[in-house]
Amino acid sequence: MSSIETVKVIVEAERHAAKTIDDASTKAIAIRKTIDAVIQEKRQRMVVDAKKEASYIAARAEEEGKREAELQEQESTEQLRQLVARASAKKESTIEKLVSLIMQVQR
């Protein structure tokens, strides 16, 4: 093999190597774009899932708050009813005592 043929082989090998490197770079860029798209899609799904979970938690908390408020209202209503009943029960005896005192004063 002559020097010229050797140089031609080397130049051809370098061209082939450059093309291989260029092809590999193109493939790497394409793979990176695909990976970026997959990562972005997963992030978006995670955000959507997190929003759904937050919405569920907020709705559940609201329902629990409503139930707690209803229980508090029922307890307050019952306590008020009991207080009114006690006041009414004492009212008659208080009126009787007052009438008795007035009668004593008038005598």
Gyration radius (Cα) of the chain, Å: 45
103: containing domain: 1-107
With vertex at residue 41, the alpha carbon angle to CA 60 and CA 38, rounded to the nearest 5 degrees, is: 145
The reported pTM is 0.54
Collapse the DSSP code of 107 into the 3-class scheme (helix H, G, I; strand E, B; otherwise coil) and give the result.
Answer: coil
Judged against a pLDDT cut of 70, whether residue 107 lies above it is answered with no
What was the pLDDT predicted at 41? 98
Say how many domains are in the chain: 1
pLDDT digits (tens, 9 = 90+) for 32-67: 999 999 999 999 999 999 999 999 999 999 999 999
Q: What is the pLDDT of residue 18?
A: 96
Whether the predicted pLDDT of 101 surpasses 90? no
Tell me the pLDDT band of 93, cut-offs 50, 70 and 90.
confident
- Helix, strand, coil shares of the chain, percent, nearest 5, are 95, 0, 5
**pLDDT above 70 coverage of the chain, percent:** 98
